[in-house]
Structures are given as structure tokens and as C-alpha cells.
Amino acid sequence: MIGIIGTFLGAMVGSAVGLFAAHFGGIVEEIVLGLIDVQSSIPFLIIALTALAIFGGGIATFIVIIGLHGWETYARLVRGAVKSALNMDFVVALRITGAGATRIYVRHLLPSIIGIIIAQMTLTFPGVVLLESGLSFLGMGVQPPGASLGLMVSEGRAAIMTQPWLCLAPGLLICLLCLLIAQIGDRLGDKFSIAKH
């Protein structure tokens, strides 16, 4: 559940930032691109551990931190898609007819790029699941009585010699979940790439 919420949160934040950068352009776009480059150059696990150490390990804080994983990918993707769409003939025609920016973005541009956002969400979701599981395994994420696959692996370590399935079953489920969603993401990415060309 945290993985799903985190993925949606990251997609919303990143898409909003990318749309903001594409709309205003100029210095605003340069600042956003600089922030994206800084975020991309620092491993997110370090950022997450630092934020959890500073703000504490509450579930709301944990979801927000997990949600910020990958926002820069969405921002870069949406910015590029919107920048290229703004030069298309139908957008120019809408501007000539007096359509406002909100109408152009919400009614025309967003539906045309929602497919690539969904495809990117399926590619980001495995990373979010692994981050959440890893932090919960380390004791920095979900705490008992909450449920997390990483927490189950951590608690199963104590009995790994006598009852290895306590550790292996949730670990295998993490692997299968990530592989399945990544395969769906690849298929969606191929579909939208073919539809685009």
C-alpha cells in the first residue's frame, strides 16, 4: 500500500514540477533542471535515511519520503513531452482561438501525455517497493504492528536456520512483485512508444 501511495505521490509531484517548468520556461526552467540534476546525482537512499533521522519515523513522514522517490524522472519526462506538444499545430490553433493555459493543459495536453506517465509509474513502482522494503528491513520504515514485506524479512532472520520460509517467502514475493510490475512497465512503454511514432 505504501508503495502504491508513494508511486502516485511521486508521479503527481514530478508531473506538476515538469508542467510548471515547461509553462514558465526561462530561468524557472533552468532552476528546475538544476534541482533535477542535483536530485539525480545523490542516491535517494542517503536522502531517505537522512530525512528519517531528522524528521522521525512516523508513517506519514515515511510515506512522504517514499513519495519523493523518482519525482525528478517524472519532472524531466513531463517537461519534455509538454515542451514538444506546445509547438504542435493544435496547441497553436487553441491559442489563436483564445483558449486559456489551464484549458490547454488540462483538457488537451494532459490526456495526451497520461499514457507515458502511467508507463513511467510502472517502471518506478519496483524501485519504490525495494526502497520501502529496505528501509523497513533496517528498522527505519514500517514498525510493528504494521505490515511490510521488508519487516517480515527482518523478523524472519532470527529463525533462518530452523524456519527459512519465514524469511524467504516475503523476499521471494518482493522479487516477483518487482519483476511483474517491471514487465508490465516495459510492455506499456513499448506500446506508448509505438503509438507515439
From the CB of residue 122, how many other CB atoms can be counted at a distance below 10 Å? 19
pLDDT of residue 97: 86
Low-confidence stretches of the chain (pLDDT < 50) are: 194-195, 197
Give pLDDT, residue 119.
Answer: 84
The predicted structure's pLDDT at residue 87: 81
List the domain range (segments joined by +) for residue 175. 2-196
- Crossing angle, helix 165-196 and helix 149-156, to 10 degrees? 150
Quote the number of domains for the chain: 1
Q: DSSP characters for 108-164?
A: IIHHHHHHHHHHHHHHHHHHHHHHHHHHHHTTSS--TTS--HHHHHHHHGGGTTT-T
CATH of the domain at 161: 1.10.3720.10
pLDDT of residue 101: 80
Residue 34: predicted pLDDT: 92
pLDDT in tens, 77-134: 999 988 888 888 888 888 888 888 888 888 888 888 888 888 888 888 888 888 888 8
What's 97's DSSP letter?
T
Average pLDDT, rounded, for the chain: 85
Q: What is the per-residue pLDDT for 70?
A: 85
